[in-house]
Amino acid sequence: MSDAAENKIYLADYQEFSHLIDGVELTFALAPTATRVKSKIKFRPNPNAPAQPFFLHGENLKFISAKINGQEISPTLTDTGLTTDVPDGAFEFEAEVEISPETNTALEGLYMSNGMYCTQCEAEGFRKITYYPDRPDVMATFKVRVESDLPVLLSNGNPGDAGDGFAEWHDPWPKPAYLFALVAGDLIAHSDNFTTRSGKDVALNIYVRKGDEDKCAFGMGALKRSMTWDEQVYGREYDLDIFNIVAVDDFNMGAMENKGLNIFNSSCVLASPETSTDANFERIEGIIAHEYFHNWTGNRITCRDWFQLCLKEGLTVFRDQQFTGDMRSHAVKRIDDVITLRARQFREDNGPLAHPVRPESFVEINNFYTATVYDKGAEVIGMLKRLVGDDAYAKALDLYFERHDGDAATIEDWLKVFEDTTGRDLSQFAQWYSQAGTPRLSVSEEFADGTYTLHFKQHTPPTPGQSAKKPQVLPIAVGLLNPNGDEVQATTVLEMTESEQSFSFSGLAAKPIPSILREFSAPVILERESTPSERAFLLAHDTDPFNKWEAGRALAKQTLVDMLTNDATVNTDLLNALAAVLRDDALDPAFQALALALPSQDDMAQTLFDAGHTPDPSAIYTALETLAQSIAQHLQDLLPRIYAANHVEGPFSPDATSAGKRALQGAVLGLLSRLDGGDQARAQYASADNMTQQLQALACLLRVDRGQAELKQFEAQWSHDRLVMDKWFGLQSGLAAPEKAASVTAALTEHAAFDWKNPNRFRATLGGLTGNAAGFHAANGEGYKLLADWLIKLDAINPQTTARMSTAFDSWRRYDADRQGQMRDQLKRIQGTANLSRDTLEMVTRILEG
């Protein structure tokens, strides 16, 4: 890692900051290129800190002046901060700096988006606003005065004085600087209120740009549902008089949980039936819940240092997953979450970027907001809950909130509340936080004299920097079915702690069919030999909805692997099993839609690679097309009936039942279009009164190489709506035929509406290409080159989004020598770019060396 390695930060080097803070006062005189920030900070020595020079972070700040106890000082200034001599006891530090929000294209710190000022401080953006100990374990109360002629001036906490050209805010809850926020703009509020269960009134507002006010109602409902749920399920009440959400168009990620002032990417809060799909509605509800839940898991209890990021993110993801399950369907939510986990986290955990849920070193912390920290972090909590049981989990959480409210805590603190609640020794379980890589769990079985035994073996392949792995604690939820399809053993959790371990079930009349890893009870790759007919049996009979779906998924994957490696024809067990799923009216349509969906190209590439083959992206694409065509033909008599039966009457509602029917209709439409050349899709497009169905139809048409007229119509209809136009861009790069994907994407980047500085538009367009696996990996290397060209260009203005998108190359070692060479060349070209950001340099270096 050469240069980058010199700036590595290590968990083992943690030490406390020299001082504690008794209060912070900030005054912002806003101006696009010359905002003045005055700070007054009351410091007192921290008795627990080791001796160290007094250092405040500060980056890209124009220093105007600083004082200690009213006396002007001349501190030592560097690119990263300020050092000065300080008195022995308590003192007041004052500074004045100038910053330029308008030219801040990195979207970190204080920046501008469409004439509005906003902030993003997590993880280390506050140091771009003023000099400060910008670390999560330094917590303080903030008073903020915002001066500007703009009509809406917001910050954290409760409102104070306001008048012509200014507003003051006071946040009574001590917080780290990463939770600081400020917004100023010409905004409209969609307002409501909420009474907490102890009777406290809270004013709620969603602030948006003019024209977006009709897209706030769903988000407001989601916020109120989240507030109620957190009271009912976790006993957590809101703690300020006001809760504000602001929608911003230019944002590097989804949303941010700043205390009392959540800032959202507009794509994650604005919703209407005409412009948002069912998936958008569900995601918006989930993200609003996630940010709201951070008020307790993240804000009231924060992280001691950034290595502990999973403490707040894993837990908050776990909580938002529970919430969505409660609001919609647990079965469907679990399947969706596992699909995402495998697509993002397993890919990460099995490639050069693999790292533990709690990493031990980093160069740029923004590169560690990963699927491993978030999604595997949530899986670890799910396992813990399963191991200790629901009651103990609830008790442990109560103790966590009681013991650590107001703390900057660690994973050790988190595990200790579980140990204290249950008396369990969690030292082996703690390895889930420190050991990277996805365990492989293999199983063989034995049946004799009515006793059925499962022999398990686990091993975790090496990951960068960790060659030797230890066995993990695995909760393996198992059920048994008899050959008639009746359940003879209800779900029971086997606790595996060794490399090899066996578990027996006695008193069985016949050899049962096992359903292993129900609900996907541990984030492992299950390796089990099985036959297509046994998988079809489980798809028909398993009482666990996750494993029922999983049986179908495994059957489809097995068929595809056989087609790709043995020239096999499509397996008829799969076709018959899918027909049975569609005919079963007792099934939830959302589940039926999931059962009809095929594994992704990327999933197949990883599966083949794991099985010792070199994946050919073009062959995978063709096999998936062939399989979809066979399914369509096999189900052709059923499809029109299912399509009609799932028509949702009446005005659009985004509820789970209606969304499930539309999802099934969409899946069926995809198959029908392979038979009718897109006629039904064209009819659906013409009559659609909501974005779900309009977009489904357009996607189906593009997949069968039609829809050019509809694409034009769509553009004319929606050119005024930036979020809908993101879909228009993404659909074209995402669904272009493999040989055309790079040229279609290149043409899109020439389109007048391609604003490459807007992260949503950039991600939609280039992310569409990278998600189009056969197109991105086209043998001529055009996809790789186009992405690298754009990453190099974007890095100069927005390192965070660039670094994030460079992960498209992280699977490079899976492929043939030509593709490997082409990807390596592009990675080296990026790496060698002059003035490359620390963010992107760290990522491409890890990808190349890992």
Residue with tokens 């007054």: 40
Q: Interface with ligand B3K includes 320 (CB under 6 A)?
A: no
Name the binder of 277 from ligand B3K, Zn ion, none, CB < 5-8 A by kind.
none
Q: Are 259 and 171 in contact (CB under 8 A)?
A: yes
- Token readout for 382 is 């799910």
- Token readout for 458 is 């686990």
| Strands 201-209, 187-195: pairing kind | antiparallel
Among 227, 256, 397, 539, binds ligand B3K (CB under 6 A): 256
Contacts of 579 (CB under 8 A, 6+ apart): 634, 635, 638
Q: Considering the complex, what minimum distance in angstroms separates the CB of residue 309 from ligand B3K?
A: 8
Rounded Cα distance, 290 and 312, in Å: 11
Instruction: Identify which of residues 252 and 571 has a Cβ nearer to ligand B3K in the complex.
Output: 252
Instruction: Identify which of residues 703 and 804 has a Cβ nearer to Zn ion in the complex.
Output: 804
Rounded Cα distance, 824 and 562, in Å: 30
Residue among 765, 756, 760 nearest 729 (CA):
765
Q: Considering the complex, what minimum distance in angstroms separates the CB of residue 445 from ligand B3K?
A: 42
Q: What is the DSSP string of 607-644?
A: HHHHTT----HHHHHHHHHHHHHHHHHHTTTTHHHHHH
The separation between CA 489 and the C-alpha centre of its own chain, rounded to angstroms, equals 36
Contacts of 366 (CB under 8 A, 6+ apart): 123, 124, 800, 803, 839
Q: Interface with ligand B3K includes 263 (CB under 6 A)?
A: no
Q: Interface with ligand B3K includes 123 (CB under 6 A)?
A: yes
Q: Considering the complex, what minimum distance in angstroms separates the CB of residue 223 from Zn ion?
A: 16
Residue with tokens 């569900």: 282
Among 35, 226, 297, 366, binds ligand B3K (CB under 6 A): 366
Name the binder of 256 from ligand B3K, Zn ion, none, CB < 5-8 A by kind.
ligand B3K
Name the binder of 541 from Zn ion, ligand B3K, none, CB < 5-8 A by kind.
none
Q: Considering the complex, what minimum distance in angstroms separates the CB of residue 125 from ligand B3K?
A: 8
Which residues does residue 117 pair with via DSSP β-bridges, in sequence order? 112, 184
Name the binder of 123 from Zn ion, ligand B3K, none, CB < 5-8 A by kind.
ligand B3K
Residue among 41, 292, 259 nearest 169 (CA):
259
Q: With contacts defined by CB under 6 A, name the span among 253-261, 354-362, 609-617, 815-823 that binds ligand B3K.
A: 253-261
Rounded Cα distance, 444 and 6, in Å: 48
Q: Are 563 and 570 in contact (CB under 8 A)?
A: yes
Q: Interface with ligand B3K includes 779 (CB under 6 A)?
A: no
Q: Considering the complex, what minimum distance in angstroms separates the CB of residue 715 from ligand B3K?
A: 32
Name the binder of 819 from Zn ion, ligand B3K, none, CB < 5-8 A by kind.
none
Rounded Cα distance, 264 and 284, in Å: 10
The amino acid that residue 217 corresponds to is A
For residue 300, the SS3 value is coil
The catalytically annotated residue of 59, 291, 364, 519 is 291
Instruction: Identify which of residues 382 and 439 has a Cβ nearer to Zn ion in the complex.
Output: 382
Q: How far is CA 550 from CA 480, 578, 838, in A?
A: 16, 13, 41
Q: With contacts defined by CB under 6 A, name the span among 182-190, 252-260, 633-641, 781-789 that binds ligand B3K.
A: 252-260
Contacts of 717 (CB under 8 A, 6+ apart): none
| Strands 302-303, 408-409: pairing kind | parallel
- Token readout for 539 is 């798809």
Instruction: Identify which of residues 25 and 320 has a Cβ nearer to Zn ion in the complex.
Output: 320
Q: Considering the complex, what minimum distance in angstroms separates the CB of residue 291 from ligand B3K?
A: 5
Q: Interface with ligand B3K includes 122 (CB under 6 A)?
A: yes
Q: Considering the complex, what minimum distance in angstroms separates the CB of residue 800 from ligand B3K?
A: 6
**Using alpha carbons only, what angle is made at residue 84 by residues 82 and 88, rounded to the nearest 5 degrees?**
135
Task: Pick out residues in 368-387 that bind ligand B3K (CB under 6 A).
Answer: 369
Rounded Cα distance, 638 and 585, in Å: 12
Instruction: Identify which of residues 127 and 294 has a Cβ nearer to ligand B3K in the complex.
Output: 294
Instruction: Identify which of residues 125 and 775 has a Cβ nearer to ligand B3K in the complex.
Output: 125
Q: With contacts defined by CB under 6 A, name the span among 47-55, 134-142, 290-298, 524-532 that binds ligand B3K.
A: 290-298
Residue with tokens 């080159």: 785
Name the binder of 262 from Zn ion, ligand B3K, none, CB < 5-8 A by kind.
none
Among 137, 313, 379, 519, binds ligand B3K (CB under 6 A): 313
Q: Are 11 and 54 in contact (CB under 8 A)?
A: no
Q: With contacts defined by CB under 6 A, name the span among 110-118, 288-296, 331-339, 550-558 that binds ligand B3K.
A: 288-296
Instruction: Identify which of residues 172 and 254 has a Cβ nearer to ligand B3K in the complex.
Output: 254
Instruction: Identify which of residues 253 and 392 has a Cβ nearer to ligand B3K in the complex.
Output: 253
- Token readout for 606 is 């990883």
The upper half-sphere exposure of residue 558, i.e. CA atoms within 13 Å in the direction of its Cβ, equals 21
Q: Which residues contact Zn ion by CB under 5 A?
A: 313, 316
- Token readout for 552 is 């179908």
Name the binder of 366 from Zn ion, ligand B3K, none, CB < 5-8 A by kind.
ligand B3K
Instruction: Identify which of residues 122 and 230 has a Cβ nearer to ligand B3K in the complex.
Output: 122
Name the binder of 516 from Zn ion, ligand B3K, none, CB < 5-8 A by kind.
none
Instruction: Identify which of residues 290 and 703 has a Cβ nearer to Zn ion in the complex.
Output: 290
Among 29, 253, 561, 579, binds ligand B3K (CB under 6 A): 253
Q: With contacts defined by CB under 6 A, name the span among 254-262, 486-494, 501-509, 575-583 that binds ligand B3K.
A: 254-262
C-alpha dihedral (559, 633, 333, 437), degrees to nearest 10: 20
Q: Considering the complex, what minimum distance in angstroms separates the CB of residue 355 from ligand B3K?
A: 16
Q: Considering the complex, what minimum distance in angstroms separates the CB of residue 680 from ligand B3K?
A: 40
Q: Considering the complex, what minimum distance in angstroms separates the CB of residue 122 from ligand B3K?
A: 4
Among 59, 291, 710, 726, binds ligand B3K (CB under 6 A): 291
Contacts 24+ apart (CB under 8 A), 261-267: 261/154, 261/155, 261/156, 261/181, 261/183, 262/291, 262/292, 263/118, 263/119, 263/120, 263/181, 263/183, 264/288, 264/291, 265/760, 266/208, 266/212, 266/722, 266/723, 267/723, 267/726, 267/760
Q: Considering the complex, what minimum distance in angstroms separates the CB of residue 642 from Zn ion?
A: 38
Among 59, 250, 257, 726, binds ligand B3K (CB under 6 A): 257
The amino acid that residue 316 corresponds to is T
Q: Are 186 and 216 in contact (CB under 8 A)?
A: no
Q: Considering the complex, what minimum distance in angstroms separates the CB of residue 385 from ligand B3K?
A: 20
Instruction: Identify which of residues 306 and 546 has a Cβ nearer to ligand B3K in the complex.
Output: 306
Instruction: Identify which of residues 123 and 208 has a Cβ nearer to ligand B3K in the complex.
Output: 123
- The site for ligand B3K, by CB under 6 A, has a size of 12
804-824 in b/e form (b: 16+ CB < 10 A) is bbbbbbbbbebbeeebeebbb
Count of CB atoms within 10 A of residue 803's CB? 24
Element (H, E) at 169: strand 166-175
Rounded Cα distance, 346 and 375, in Å: 10
Q: Considering the complex, what minimum distance in angstroms separates the CB of residue 294 from ligand B3K?
A: 6
For residue 74, the SS3 value is coil
Using CB under 6 A as the criterion, what x/- string covers residues 473-492 for binding ligand B3K?
Answer: --------------------
- Token readout for 662 is 């539309």
Instruction: Identify which of residues 313 and 810 has a Cβ nearer to Zn ion in the complex.
Output: 313
Q: Is 291 part of the annotated catalytic residue set?
A: yes
Rounded Cα distance, 725 and 728, in Å: 5
Q: Are 93 and 66 in contact (CB under 8 A)?
A: yes
Catalytic residues: 291
Residues in touch with ligand B3K (CB under 6 A): 122-123, 253, 255-257, 290-291, 294, 313, 366, 369
